[in-house]
Amino acid sequence: MSSTRSRARPGEGEKLREEILLAAESLLVETGTDGALTLRAVAARAGVTTPSVYLHFANRDDLLEAVCLRSWGELERRMRERSEGVDDPLRVLGRCGRVYATFGLEHPVQYRVLLMRPSAHRSPGARECFRYVTEAAAACVSAGIMRGRPESLAVGLWSALHGLVSLLIAQPEFDWPDDLDTLIDDVVRMAGFGTVLASRIPREATPTSAQLAEGLDALTANWPERDQPRR
């Protein structure tokens, strides 16, 4: 292969790793599918022969995960930004949830690679996601609005959001409503309210449908309709 790229000097082998990641990333956004990320295509774009990729990545999956993780830091940044200065912990949870869903839908390939494929090892993507949610849940617990271990609450919250995002990604041809923002908001509200309520009702005291309906009628009747912007 007589390419333009010149061999790196000893000690600078890491350069190639970066160039491969860059090539893979551009290939990913151009094609929109990870199927296009073949070792040959990536290597060619990086101006290098195919087996050279193995100098820096154990196998294709390793490369795939590494390139998808590159966009992942942005998620945390956006969550912090979006919930900055918000006091009400439930509202923080809501904002983070919306950011999470929006981010997932904006990066469907990365989301799918990091969270929707069987990953043999402890996926860093998953641990990150869980950490964010656990933090937000912990805030709700210390505010006295939720009860129980933050980790347990977080699993439920994460499940709801992840379920929505992954269904939207995997089943694009499904008969989804037009207004995705409202859909996301509905699920965020459901998950938030549900976690609060479920954490306050002991399993042994699960009410019947009638009891619950009656109780909630009384509850919501006390809330005057307020007029505040949704976000």
Partner DNA sequence: AGCGTCAAGTTGACGGTGTCAAGTCAGCTC
Partner DNA sequence: GAGCTGACTTGACACCGTCAACTTGACGCT
Using CB under 8 A as the binding rule, the residues of this chain from 169 to 188 that contact its own copies are: 169-175, 177, 183, 185-187
Residue whose C-alpha is closest to residue 188's, from 103, 80, 82, 101: 101
Going by the DSSP 8-state scheme, the letter that residue 7 receives in this structure is P
Of 27 and 93, nearer to its own copies (C-beta) is 93
41 interacts with, out of its own copies, DNA, none, CB within 5 to 8 A per kind? DNA
Task: For residue 14, report the phi and psi dihedrals to the nearest 5 degrees.
Answer: -65, -20
- Please tell me the distance from the alpha carbon of residue 21 to that of residue 70, in angstroms, as a whole number: 9
89 is an interface residue for its own copies by CB under 8 A: yes
Q: Which is nearer to its own copies, 9 or 122 (CB)?
A: 122
- Supply the minimum distance, in Å, between the C-beta of residue 156 and DNA: 36
As a whole number of angstroms, the distance between CA 53 and CA 58 comes to 8
With beta carbons less than 8 A apart as the criterion, state whether 93 and 157 touch. Answer: yes
Distance of alpha carbon 125 from alpha carbon 8, whole angstroms: 31
The one-letter code for the residue type at 55 is L
Site for DNA in 167-226 (CB under 7 A): none
**Distance from C-alpha of 102 to C-alpha of 177, rounded to nearest angstrom:** 16
Per CB under 7 A, the segment of 24-32, 40-48, 89-97, 183-191 that binds DNA is 40-48
What is the pattern of x (binds DNA, CB under 7 A) and - over residues 55-84? x---xxx-----------------------
The amino acid at residue 224 is P
- 91-110 positions binding its own copies, by CB under 8 A: 91
In the bound state with DNA, the residue whose beta carbon lies nearer, of 99 and 113, is 113
Judged by CB under 8 A, the chain residues 109 through 128 that form the site for its own copies are 112, 115-123, 126-127
159 near DNA, judged by CB under 7 A: no
Say if residues 18 and 55 touch (Cβ distance below 8 Å): no
Q: Quick one: which segment of 53-61, 154-162, 181-189, 219-227 binds DNA (CB under 7 A)?
A: 53-61
